[in-house]
Amino acid sequence: MEVNCDAHSAVAPRLAESAHRPLPHNEDLGRILTLCEKRTLSKNLTLSYNNVIYQIKTKRSAYTMRKAQVEVRENQRGEITIEYKQRPLEYTIYSEQEQQQGKVIEAKLLQPAAARAAARPKQKRGPVPLSHPWRFFDFSENSMLAKERRGELCILRK
């Protein structure tokens, strides 16, 4: 007995008309299908996204935009737009961070790195010699040692 899988799994729709709703003309599909992250502007109107610092350019006073919540949107091509209250803002790239952030390392790779760091000996410093110039520095003019060195005071020592 041969069974046709297509005939058993297919279910006819109740209504023949399409249930898809048309996209309203005020909705932008390009804006909807982007990665969106919220950021807070600093007092000099900068924000960080993907290790890049962006600075907002505005004609208004800078204090009005401080601590404002903005949306950083990235499309499929990697283009960035920054929006405040659904309006795009002009920006410049302030600086790209050159430091790499801490990364998770496997235990196998961690052991050789720790061994290299431990192999370097620490420099040990001995005591400062008695003839070193800072030993003769006078911290106050009225100290007993200073008066003795100037000859104003004579102390008999054993």
pLDDT at res. 71: 94
Listed by start position, the domains of the chain span: 39-96
Residue 57: which of 27, 94, 32 has the closest Cα?
94
Prediction pTM value: 0.50
pLDDT at res. 123: 76
pLDDT for residue 112 is more than 60: yes
Whole-angstrom Cα distance, residue 148 to residue 7? 114
